[in-house]
Amino acid sequence: MSVAVVVGMQWGDEGKGKVIDLLSEEADVIARYAGGHNAGHTIVFDGNQHILHLIPSGIFHSGKLCIIGNGVVIDPAALIHEMDLLKNAGINLDEQLVISDRANIILPYHGTFDKGRENSNNFEKIGTTGRGIGPSYADKIARSGIRACDYRNERYLRKKLESNYQEKNSIFRDLYGKELPSCESMFEDLMGYQETILKYIGDTHVLLRNKIEQKKKVLCEGAQGTMLDVDHGTYPFVTSSNSTSGGASTGLGIPPTQIDRVVGVIKAYTTRVGEGPFPTELHNKDGEKLRKEGHEFGSTTGRPRRCGWFDAVVARYAIRLNGIDAMAITKLDVLDRFDTLKVCTGYKYKGKIFEEMPADLDVLENGEPVYTQFEGWNQSTVKAENFNELPDKAKRYVDGLQSIMGIGFLMISTGPERNQTIHQGTLF
């Protein structure tokens, strides 16, 4: 077994950063396959917190190769800022980081259009991170995007930027009656990153293929979560990439036949940032308590996250859609002080119970969650080193989730630090 994918099972923010950091111990290569600097993967060790937006969460393990795949969209300024932070923290990026020369570049006007749409009355508000993710993927699919390899040919890059700029500027003028900053200044800004980009780019498909042939262990890092997938999530309230496991294949150039296993990361309750349906959302003191105890504020934008009970319809959908064969549950400790916990097993809508995820958002928006209840344990789970050390009622909750979902937990996380984790198996 040599290739595994780690995928978020809810609306992002499941704690993938911590899980990938821990699983990286077993891997030789950690490769991010989708999204951009909209993601925020938090890793805590030795009392210090690190938030990564673009660079894979394996970077803190020296000697492990970290790849940013072709499926990722890269804002050069954000990338270089993150690289500088890591270099200052003593990470040797020259030995550890390779960026796909096929990855698309986020340009300043992508962010401008993203924010413009969000603030306009003409469009439905998605609650994006404002990082230009949607507009840059739109250009990629429209075949007008600028790729990292274009930095190798300055003339070509200038020509591409000029033709894109003309189109974008006329739309911008029509929509907002303003001009974008000049094309020349944009080109100069872009060229300011050329040296760094050229130093780190390479053909990551070939690199990964060689590693897989050498039986090296490859961990494919997902960003966002299943319900934010552009095809399978709560469209249009989604991100603009395939965050599900299929995205690992296209976003890294790894054939599906070479993916051996898929691990899903799921929080012990549910959160969501931005707009869109959220059937188990709590607008009461339990929701407030989850936000407070779980420090549920976005690691990229700082926005308060919406909080709610565990949704097993979402979880089962994620398992089947991604082909998940093991899971990691995170933030169990956040539930340490509740008398009762609820788990949604279906949505009741117009007299019918939905146990499968519907495409129609009306069911999610207006359906009523059908709940199973669990008793809370009102004790700390933080110091538990193995499953048996958990309070009995916490064991019952975890076992209950496993039996509702039909698969087991490889890892149970009871705090942000690496050692606040119960390990129940290995990845490879």
**Using CB under 6 A, which residues numbered 213 to 232 contact ligand IMP?**
223-224, 228
Binders of ligand IMP among 245-304, rule CB under 6 A?
A: 273-274
Q: Is the dihedral of CA 333, 287, 276, 239 positive or negative?
A: negative
- Residue 46 near residue 10, CB atoms below 8 Å: no
Residue 5 binds ligand IMP, judged by CB under 6 A = no
Inter-residue contact 136 to 147 (CB < 8 Å): no
Report the site for ligand IMP in 131-150 (rule: CB under 6 A). 131, 133-134
**Taking each helix axis from N to C terminus, what angle separates 312-322 and 392-405, rounded to the nearest 10 degrees?**
50
Shortest Cβ 242–ligand IMP spacing (Å): 12
Q: How many CB atoms lie within 10 A of CB 420?
A: 19
Task: Tell me which of 100, 104, 128, 270 binds ligand IMP, using CB under 6 A.
Answer: 128
What's the closest the beta carbon of residue 48 comes to ligand IMP, in angstroms? 21
Which span sits near ligand IMP by CB under 6 A: 125-133, 172-180, 184-192, 256-264? 125-133
From 21, 28, 41, 150, active-site residue: 41
The answer to whether residue 17 forms part of the interface with ligand IMP (CB under 6 A) is no
Among 127, 358, 376, 391, binds ligand IMP (CB under 6 A): 127
- Our finding on whether 52 is near ligand IMP (CB under 6 A) is no
Q: How far is the CB of 197 from ligand IMP (least distance, A)?
A: 22
Closest CA to 24 of 261, 220, 267, 164: 220
Tokens 């070939």 belong to 206
Which among 56, 32, 50, 52 is positioned nearest to 41, based on CA atoms? 52
Residue position matching structure tokens 């429209």: 142
CB of 124 to ligand IMP, least distance (A): 12
Sheet holding 3-8, edge to edge: 201-202, 97-100, 65-68, 29-32, 218-221, 3-8, 261-267, 326-330, 409-413, 421-423
Asked if 40 interacts with ligand IMP (CB under 6 A), we say yes
Cis amide linkage into residue 236, ω under 30° from 0 = yes
Q: Which stretch binds ligand IMP (CB under 6 A): 36-44, 58-66, 92-100, 204-212?
A: 36-44
Complex with ligand IMP: residue 211 or 331, whichever CB lies closer:
331
DSSP 372-396: EEEE---S--TT--SGGGS-HHHHH
**Residue whose C-beta lies closest to ligand IMP:** 274
Q: Would you call 41 a catalytic residue per the annotation?
A: yes
The verdict on whether 13 is a catalytic residue reads yes
Nearest residue (CB) to ligand IMP, 310 versus 338: 310
CB of 370 to ligand IMP, least distance (A): 26
Strand 29-32 to 65-68 pairing: parallel
One residue of 20, 31, 126, 146 binding ligand IMP per CB under 6 A? 126
* Residue that is written with structure tokens 């539930």 in the block: 335
Residues that bind ligand IMP (CB under 6 A): 11-13, 38-40, 126-129, 131, 133-134, 223-224, 228, 239-240, 273-274
Catalytic residues: 13, 41
